[in-house]
Amino acid sequence: MRPFLALLILATPAVAQETTTPPSPRDGGAVAQLLHAHTLFDLALARKDPLATLSAARLAAGITATDDDRAPTPPGEPVPATYPTAEVMFTAAKALAKEDDLVTDLTARTLTESANAPTLTVIRSTRGIAGGEAQVWQLPFFAASPAEIGLLGDGKANLDLSVTLAEDIPICLDTAPADRALCSFVPEENATFTITVTNLGETTATYSLLTN
């Protein structure tokens, strides 16, 4: 699975900018940080790099996910989140470190420190989605407050994400051949946004919709 392509739109009524470069974690919020952690984790595992794996674990440990019972249309099946937790990432870092005592000690120390560190919070809703199905969410966001919407799938299907305002005004559209996406924007007024997740594959998959 290639790293997700984030479509970041800093939206005004007249200007919408599209990019395939994910925002840096320091510029993004909790949702961006969690997505970056998983992208880095995939890369670290592919390269068998324990330090990069540890960095991903540290990023993921800085996020607390709170499950919410909001539902799309059609409602889909509520399921547990399937993506690797920070604990799984720390375990992977230890395994990759093998006999490297320095990295092993660093991993143990980082795990202890992260347990006592403050965290950011994301709101999470996880659903199963059949092949060819689209699920539509209606979620409110507040004026002048940065909004983040993230899609984090289980790797089994190509999932697309679109975000629109009333009258189908486009805010974000992700059509990358992956199952991860990030949409960041600042609403000009309190509004309800339409978020559509589409499974373009033939295989049933699960995904977590993440918001701030």
Note the pLDDT of residue 27: 55
Q: How far apart are CA 96 and CA 208, in angstroms?
A: 27
How high is the pLDDT of residue 196? 98
pLDDT attached to residue 79 = 96
- Domains of the chain, residue spans: 30-211
Quote the pLDDT of residue 1.
38
pLDDT given for residue 28 in this prediction: 79
**Could you tell me the fold of the domain covering 30-211?**
Jelly Rolls (2.60.120)
Sheet strands (E) in the chain: 63-67, 77-78, 120-129, 134-141, 147-153, 159-164, 170-174, 180-185, 191-199, 205-211
What per-residue confidence (pLDDT) applies to 3? 37
Query: Mind listing the pLDDT tens digit for each residue in 109-146?
Result: 999 999 999 999 999 999 999 999 999 999 999 999 99
Q: What's the CA gap between 169 and 7, in Å, rounded? A: 16
- Residues lower than pLDDT 70 in the chain: 1-27
- Locate the DSSP E strands across 60-190: 63-67, 77-78, 120-129, 134-141, 147-153, 159-164, 170-174, 180-185
In this prediction the pTM is 0.85
